[in-house]
Every structure is written in structure tokens, then in C-alpha cells.
Amino acid sequence: MTAQVPDLREESALWANGHRRVAGLDEAGRGAWAGPVYAAAVVLPLDRPDLLDLLEGVCDSKQLSPARREALLPRINEVADAVEVGISGPDEVDSIGVVEAT
């Protein structure tokens, strides 16, 4: 599977329509039978002309090795306006379902 190269077209269109806090989302673990599941949201400063250069190599986490994800994390945290991560454990997944837990 080839990783799609981010181009910020969708984010830029939302920004042009007045949405200033556009979050990119990614989840991991949704296929886990007993949880946990993780979801992350990252808000990037779309007004930075060098944004794509700063985040070169960032794409869908499932396309990256664990080592590459770890290597990119400091850069994402440095560049992003906001980063949040949510975790739902097995009990929550069993109680409300995997989609809602994500």
C-alpha cells in the first residue's frame, strides 16, 4: 500500500471558508478485539508557507514504522498549534462499542 502524500487541499478549503481550527484525525487499534483504541487530533498552523516542508514524511500512522512515528513526534509537537490523544480501554470498548470509543 502506497502512502498518500499530504497536500493540505481540504484543510486549505476549510480555512478559506473561515474555519480557523482544522484538526486532522487518525485512529489506531479499531480492529483490536479487546481494545484499547487510540485517536489523535492535530491542529496545524495552515498559514505557514513552509508547513509541508516542516512535516515532510508525515502521513497515515499505519504507513509508518514505529521507529519513524517516534522520530516524527517531536517535529509534529513543535509545529502543531494543538495535539490531543484519546484512549479507550477494553471495558469502555465493550460497554459502548468500538466506533463510539474511537
Give the strand pairing for 23-28 and 82-88. unpaired
Mean pLDDT of 59-85: 92
The per-residue DSSP string of 27-66 comes to EE-TT-SS--EEEEEEE--TT-TTHHHHTTT---GGGS-H
What's the chain's average pLDDT? 87
Domains within the chain, CATH numbers bracketed: 22-101 (3.30.420.10)
Q: State the Cα–Cα distance between residues 3 and 85, nearest whole angstrom.
A: 22
> pTM for the whole thing?
0.79
pLDDT of residue 72: 94
Is omega for the bond preceding 36 within 30 degrees of 0, making it cis?
A: yes
pLDDT at 43 over 90: yes
Residues 6 or more apart whose Cβ sits within 8 Å of residue 94: 34, 35
Instruction: Report percent pLDDT > 90 for the chain.
Output: 45
H or E stretch including 3? none
